[in-house]
Structure 1
Amino acid sequence: MPDPAPLTRRVLRAATAPPPRATPLQHVARIVLGVFLLFAGISHLTFARGQFQAQVPDWVPADKDFVVIASGIVEITLGGALVTLGRFRIPVGWIVAAFFIAIFPGNISQFVTRTDAFGLTSDAARGIRLIFQPLLVLWALWSCGALTRRRGRVRD
């Protein structure tokens, strides 16, 4: 039976190694996405609260205001993490991508129910928004270096 110690050491080394260096463009894209999420989160809690409530689907089994407040707090937390947690940017990128995926059904609901919010007052506008949601997922993963690490291409 082979000795598991070398494999264990490699796994531990990979798990504790600093993330690969980000390119300047990735760094800027991560910060911009973080600021975007901070702004969106603050708007959930303040001036755009009603607009966000209109986007919460009726099938969500929680108070719409609670959903808007909770998602705003999550967005502020994620935005802050993107801006400040450079060493942990890869797991943060995966978490941000998961968040964008988690809110996607709400965007689909807005399209299907033809709910007007944030100037999205036509099927075309709501449909275009649906196209951009997967791009946000890719933006989060790419800007944090998660795609590079996932594919196994680690740059020094």
Structure 2
Amino acid sequence: MKKTNLLWILLLLLVMLLGCQQVSEINKENEAENPKAPYPYEEAIKNGDIVNFHGEISNLHKFDSFLKNVKSGTKDLIQITIYTIEGAPIFYNLSYDGNKIIYTYDNTLDGFAGSDKGIKSTSCSNIESQDIENGVGYYLSECTSEVGNTFYFSVLE
């Protein structure tokens, strides 16, 4: 009788340990797919990024300055960081060399990007604006690849 009880207890412990190990592995996988605050928005703001955190834009003056520099032919570069609903940052880097805009799109920290995850770049001739409801939308034009279509930045009034 004691051996049977001991066997049942050992079997129960083994099942519990295996269950805990599987939960731990699932948690590690989830963290790898969607890391917790890989680049917190407060840090992005402090670093000088133009940040769109769920519709609230910080450091917008840097975007305005970039637009003026492109118009005047003055070199400049900015990083726009837009956060997904889940809190992952997506980076939009614009570097103006006085002639063209080099645009780099980086969604490597987005755990839900799927097969589209990665860093992509293109060269564009211009940044343009269009009136939208309650604001202005900005987009790139005359780009050397379709990557330019991933840039759209709206500023609401």
Say which structure is richer in strand.
2
TM-score normalised according to structure 2 size: 0.28
| Bigger radius of gyration among the two | 2
Judging by fraction of residues, say which structure has more helix: 1
The one of the two structures with greater contact order (alpha-carbon pairs below 8 A, sep at least 6) is 1
